[in-house]
Structure 1
Amino acid sequence: MNKPPIIWTNVILFASTFLAAAILVPWYAIAVGFTWTEIIATILCLGYCGMSITAGYHRLWAHKTYDAHPILQWVYAIGGAFALQNSALHWSSDHRVHHKFVDQNDKDPYSAQRGFWFSHIGWMLREYQSNTYADYSNARDLQNNKIVMWQHKNYLLLTVATNFGIPLFLGWLTDSYIGMLLSVGVLRLVLSHHFTFFINSLAHIWGNQPYTDQNSARDNGILAFLTYGEGYHNFHHIFEYDYRNGIKWWQFDPTKWLIKSCSWLGLTRNLRVCPADRIEKAKVQMQLKRAQAKVSHLPDAEQVMQRLEQEYELLMEKMHAYYDVKKVLLQQKKQQLMQQYNEFDLKQQMQEVRRNLQLQQKRWQQLTAQFA
């Protein structure tokens, strides 16, 4: 079969930046040395790019797991261009196709079933993708977003302005143009690229599957550290509309922390969360499935299977009872809060009415005093 044509722009970009990071950055580190200012600036810019992709491109625009204030969207749009991973519209459209057809080699744009190299970077080096969504028909909502479309139309200009302008500006501030171009410009870009690419490749190969084995996505704490929480990928692929990836308090998910923190400042709202009972049910179903697979070859497999199923049904019964009561309690708490709010509101109204009455009484007394 004839291979699709090579996308030379991407090949040259990825090859040249990688070679510069692999050769020029170590040479400069040995010959001149990077200052702490350059190192800190690189880490901060790397985080800005990464979080613009994870919190902006991925959880906001691709999956609509929350709503964001326009100010935050502008920050994401510029950071996404700085990350140089195509426009938010194009990226989100591709990602929605990935979720719809995950692991289907002929439809998933970066199917992990085609190997690590293909899912990591190979899919971007040739014209593999069909024209099914060339008109972004699966992202009509984003085409109505003025900020997304502004970034899409001005993407090339924004990438040049950020990837050269920011390192040069920092170089001007510190009088270290070459150091900033190599660290904030080249090294930051290469690390940002490949950390994100790990989500498409390693996160579908390396890790465990506590929630589902219906696709290749894995949970991996190490990858979560490199990808700002995106490494909890097995959870994400079954509960893609949850704004969290790491649902436990101890799981490293700075993207979740950013979104939640911004909600306290009024910059994010309508944070979508999958019900806890659905998450627990998915975990228990996977545990049952694995247990059944392990005991299937035992001499008394039938008896053990029967006991597993009985215990599973009992657990489901207890779980439903627990979450039903929990929902009632939450509803009662809401009602109590509403009652407290109503009481507070009535008290405020009473104070205002009293003030108005006192003012009117004073005016009345002043008026009638004239005729006493």
Structure 2
Amino acid sequence: MKKPPIVWLNTFLFASTLIATITLVPWRAMTHGFDGMEWIAFIVLAYASGLSITAGYHRLWSHKAYKAHPVMRFLFALGGALALQNSALHWCSDHRVHHKHVDNNDKDPYSAKMGFWYSHIGWMLREYQASRYHDYSNVRDLQKDRIVMWQHKHYLLLVIVMNIGLPIFLGWLNGDILSMVLMAGLLRLVVVHHCTFFINSLAHIWGSQPYTNKNTARDNAFLALLTYGEGYHNFHHIFENDYRNGIKWWDYDPTKWLIKGMSWFGLATDLRKVPQERIEHARLQMQLLRAKNKVAHLPNCDEVFEKLQAEYELLKQHLADYYQAKKSLLEAKRKEMNLTPLKQQVESLKCKLAEQQRHWKLLTAAYS
């Protein structure tokens, strides 16, 4: 089968920046060194560009997980140009296709089933789906966003200003243009590129699947450190419109923290969260599936299946009762009703749910 034509611009960009980084940055470090301001600029611009992709391109524009003030949309547009990962319009179009056809080798732009190299960077080096590059029918909503379209129209100029002009200006201020360009421009660009590319590659290969096994997406706390919180990818692929990826307060998800912080100052509104009951149900279904897979080889597997299914249904009912009681309590608060009996009911159901969860955990652990 004949391979599609090479995209020479992308190939030259990725190859030249990588080669220049692994040669020029060590050379400059050994012969001259880098000062504190250059390291600070590297870190600040890395987070500015990375978070513009995750909080802007991804959670805001691709998935509509929240609404952002025009000031933040403008900053995300500039940061997206700094990240040099195409315009927001094009990036979001690709990403929506990815979610709609995840793991479909013919339709998913960066299908993980095509291998690590393809999903990480290879898909951008050849015209595998060239016809898609001018079809923005799946982002008509974004075409109504004046900031998105302004960035799309002036993308090349913005890339030059943000990736060349800004590091040169910072270097001039710091008295060393070359070192700043190498650190805050070149090294920062390559690091951010490959860290965000890990979301398409490693996050579909390495990690756990606590919420769904219907696609290759994985949760990986280590990858979250490299991807601005996007490493909780299994959760994201089943609940893509949630503004969070790491749902526990201790999960490293600076994108979530940024969005939440923006909401405190009126810069973000309508933050979308999946109801906790749906999350618990998804997790419970995966636990049942794993337990059944563990015992499928046993001679009495049908009997075990029935026992697991019965306990699963019981726990699911406890979950439904508990969350329904919580909803009733919230409704009573809004109507300023007597809350004492409802609070007691919620507490009682919470205790019953916790006991059933302990029993379920012991049961599935025993069969594992």
Q: Same fold (TM over 0.5)?
A: yes
Paired residue for 2:296? Answer: 296
Report which stretch shifted further, 325-334 or 46-55: 325-334
Unaligned 5+ runs, structure 1: 338-372
Partner residue, 1:125: 125
Amino acid across the alignment from 2:120: H
Distance in 2 between residues matched to 1:84 and 1:308, nearest whole Å: 50
What is the match of residue 356 of structure 1? Answer: none
Question: 1:56-94 CA deviation, whole Å, 9 max, x = no partner?
Answer: 000000000000000000000000000000000000000
Across the two proteins, how many residue pairs are aligned to each other? 337
- Tell me what 2:206 maps to: 206
Q: Is 2:136 the counterpart of 1:136? A: yes
CA contact (8 A) 1:93 1:133 kept: no
Q: Cα offset for 1:133?
A: 6.5
1:230 aligns with 2:230: yes
Matches within 5 A, 1:1-372: 1-132=1-132, 134-336=134-336
Cα shift readout 1:217-241 (whole Å, capped 9, x = no counterpart): 0000011011111000000000000
User: 1:175-211 deviations in whole A, cap 9, x for unaligned?
Assistant: 0111001000100000010001000000000000000
Could you tell me how far apart the structure 2 residues matched to 1:225 and 1:336 are? 44
Q: Distance in 2 between matches of 1:244 and 1:220?
A: 15
Q: CA deviation at 1:159?
A: 0.0
Structure 2 unmatched ranges of 5 or more: 338-368
Contact preservation (8 Å) 2:90, 2:133: no
SS in 1 for 2:162: helix
TM-score (norm 2): 0.90
Q: State the TM-score, normalized to the length of structure 1.
A: 0.89
- Greater Cα offset, 295-304 or 24-33: 295-304
Contact 2:46 2:192 in 1 (8 A): yes
- Letter of the 2:69 counterpart: H
Give CA-to-partner distance per residue, 1:244-274, whole Å, 9 cap, x none: 0000011000000000010010000000111
SS at match of 2:17: helix
Contact between 2:229 and 2:252, CA under 8 Å: does it hold in 1? yes
Match of 2:355 in 1: none
Q: Could you tell me whether the CA contact under 8 Å between 1:221 and 1:251 is conserved in 2?
A: yes
Contact 2:93/2:139 (<8 A) preserved: yes
In the TM superposition, residue 15 of structure 1 has moved relative to its aligned partner by 0.4
Percent sequence identity is 64
Amino acid in the other structure paired with 1:215: N
Between the aligned partners of 1:334 and 1:50, the Cα distance in structure 2 is 41
Q: Structure 1: how far apart are the matches of 2:133 and 2:19? A: 33
Deviation of the 1:134 alpha carbon: 2.5
For residues 82 and 334 of structure 2, the distance between their equivalents in structure 1, rounded to whole angstroms, comes to: 43
User: Which amino acid in 2 is paired with 1:208?
Assistant: S
The alignment's C-alpha RMSD in Å is 1.0
